[in-house]
Amino acid sequence: MIYTTYYAAARKLPKDIVPVAISTKVPEEWKGPVYRPLAPSGSIFWQYKRQGQDEELYTQRFRREVLGVLDPHQVVRELMELSGGKDVALCCYERTGSFCHRTIVADWLGEAGYDVSEWKKKGSKGKNDVRGYRYYINADGEKVMRVSDVIKMIGKESLMVWANMLGLKGIDYKEELDRTANIGSLCHSVVENYFNPKRMAFVDYEEFGIDDPDDVQEVNNALDNFFDWFEEFSKHRRYHVKFTEQVVVGKELGGTIDCGIDGWEDPDKVIFVDYKTAKDFFLTQFLQLAAYAMLYEEVHGPDTVEGVMVILMSKKKNKKTRARFISRKDLDPFIVCFQCLFDVTRGVNILTASLPELSQIFEY
């Protein structure tokens, strides 16, 4: 079995799993084996850092320049030699859920037929179960684009502006991005598990890398605000969870719907719900849910979705949780907008892959 994880979590690996570093640089205290063929080149890494954190371009270059010259079966054989035949965990720096090259490696090995999963501590009740990195295969056996990859196209410029603003304040935007993501993931996990009778809604700060007292307080505030809201909301609207983490794959797109509840007007229909700890509502939140509605109807038939709802859990003490609902009859403009975004994303991917063939380089 092949796992992936990050260096901080590698310390918790059981003895029968051998951690193997696959990053360009490794922590000073690292004592385990290192497998350099899967490390990104300095050129790929620095282009990513200096040109707006373009994940699509990074992925294209890493697949072409690093993975494109490797045989996945030979790579696995060499990893097994390093581990002495034991299971391995491929390690780099980024926390679970963050974009990093080990996710690309995991997809690449998965496409070659190997079972690759992000390692999770036994008994963990977090959102990301051990099930491997998600790529979606349609009914024709073809790998399709993820809804989240399309949504990212609309957020790149605003991310750069936000990063520059933080830089002026002396804040590392990557660390801030990870910090807020960890808080959001933990809150999402607790709420999701609360509505799942098979799970315990346990607030596991350690699992999500949250140890700063201010961050812990933000988590507590968000959860307190949500459950205060839910108690009052339940007096006016039914909130029966129909499913969580449901994968839906159409002909050209795939995604995972976080939560679906029974429709209020028709319980046989579904309302998609997403829990957020952002400061406000954003268009991208509803574009993503609209895309899921489109996919869900493609798979399950028309007239099966009643609407979508985003719930904002404020991280400030005693600030009310807010929810915004859009009915299915008002989702069509969002779906049209998403379809346009999808066409643009597909075109960008094609041009990125074709750029070396369509261009000339003059280097002196």
pLDDT digit string, tens, across residues 334-359: 999 999 999 998 888 788 778 778 88
What is the C-alpha separation between 40 and 93, in angstroms, rounded? Answer: 13
How many DSSP H helices and E strands does the chain contain? 11, 11
Distance of CA 293 to CAs 174, 209, 259, 335, Å? Answer: 32, 33, 12, 8
Q: How confident is the model over 293-315, as a mean pLDDT?
A: 96
Portion of the chain with pLDDT greater than 90, in percent: 44
How many other CB atoms are there within 10 angstroms of residue 3's CB atom?
25
346 phi and psi, to 5 degrees?
A: -65, -40
Residue 133 confidence class, pLDDT cut points 50, 70, 90:
very low
What is the C-alpha separation between 182 and 175, in angstroms, rounded? Answer: 11
- Show the tokens assigned to 42: 């300095």
Residue 317 confidence class, pLDDT cut points 50, 70, 90:
very high
Reply yes or no on whether the pLDDT at 163 is more than 60: no
Residue 128 confidence class, pLDDT cut points 50, 70, 90:
very low
Residue 231 confidence class, pLDDT cut points 50, 70, 90:
very high
- Show the tokens assigned to 197: 């009778």
- pLDDT in the model for residue 149: 83
Stretch (H or E) spanning 259: strand 253-262
Instruction: Give the closest residue to 107 by CA, choosing from 79, 84, 127, 137.
Output: 137
Reply yes or no on whether the pLDDT at 308 is more than 60: yes
Q: 134-353 has which CATH code?
A: 3.90.320
Where are the domains positioned within the chain? 2-132, 134-353
- pLDDT in the model for residue 306: 98
Instruction: Give the closest residue to 331 by CA, choosing from 359, 305, 362, 352.
Output: 305
Reply yes or no on whether the pLDDT at 251 is more than 50: yes
pTM: 0.66
- Show the tokens assigned to 41: 């080149």
Portion of the chain with pLDDT greater than 70, in percent: 88
User: Tens digits of per-residue pLDDT, 86-98?
Assistant: 899 999 988 887 7
What is the C-alpha separation between 17 and 25, in angstroms, rounded? Answer: 21
Reply yes or no on whether the pLDDT at 154 is more than 60: yes
